[in-house]
Amino acid sequence: MLALGCAPTQDPSSSVALVAPVPEGPPRPPSGASRGFADGMLPAGATVYDDHPGVVRLDTRLLEELRAATADASAQGVGIVVNSGWRSKAYQSLLFEEAVVEHGTEAAAAAWVARPGTSVHESGAAVDLGPSSAVDWLVQHGADYGLCQVYDNEPWHFELDLDAGENGCPDPYDDPSDDPRLQM
């Protein structure tokens, strides 16, 4: 889409000023970047029972425990929505590039979005959940299912820890840039 305004340019072989369209909005993602259902993007309101790749490509055990937790939360009047699950490397790359634009540097972006090739989402071992009532419910009951918050700055991000039922969830990292698993 183009903005209504135009930027003047000058043709060096002529004294006539040309008009070039001014692009609207932020820079476009690089070619090959992907943001579709096949790459893990989920529609608003997705659940653990949906058949989108972002859900069905989650780790089998994570999905089983998430479904059990969802059933129990639902019985208590709390709905759980899957905002993000499995992601392709291309989708993770796009999310990281958007975070760089938003936060200004790769280092600042890495506090919010894992670098492509390091994200636990790419293996289907992480899930971002909502709404806040579901997150609150999982903070109280998630360890019973092995579902643990991993980052202080991302309360919606949960991963499976099979020892959590016995030992509780481990202390979360401050943010993804502190997670040694994500270091390149």
Q: Which residues contact 40 (CB under 8 A, 6 or more apart)?
A: 53, 54, 57, 84, 85, 86, 87, 88, 91, 121
Residue 183 has what pLDDT?
81
pLDDT reading at 23 higher than 90 = no
How far apart are alpha carbons 22 and 108 in whole angstroms? 29
Question: How does pLDDT run across 160-172, given as a tens digit for each residue?
Answer: 999 999 999 999 9
**pLDDT tens figures, 90-136:** 999 999 999 999 999 999 999 999 999 999 999 999 999 999 999 99
In this prediction, residue 182 carries a pLDDT of 84
Residues 6+ apart with CB under 8 A from 142: 69, 148, 149, 158, 164, 169
pTM of structure: 0.80
Rounded to 10 deg, the angle between the 132-141 and 60-75 helix axes is 100
Percent of all residues in the chain with a pLDDT value above 70, rounded to a whole number? 81
In this prediction, residue 155 carries a pLDDT of 96
What's residue 33's pLDDT? 52
CATH architecture of the region 2-182: 2-Layer Sandwich (3.30)
Contacts of 11 (CB under 8 A, 6+ apart): 17, 18
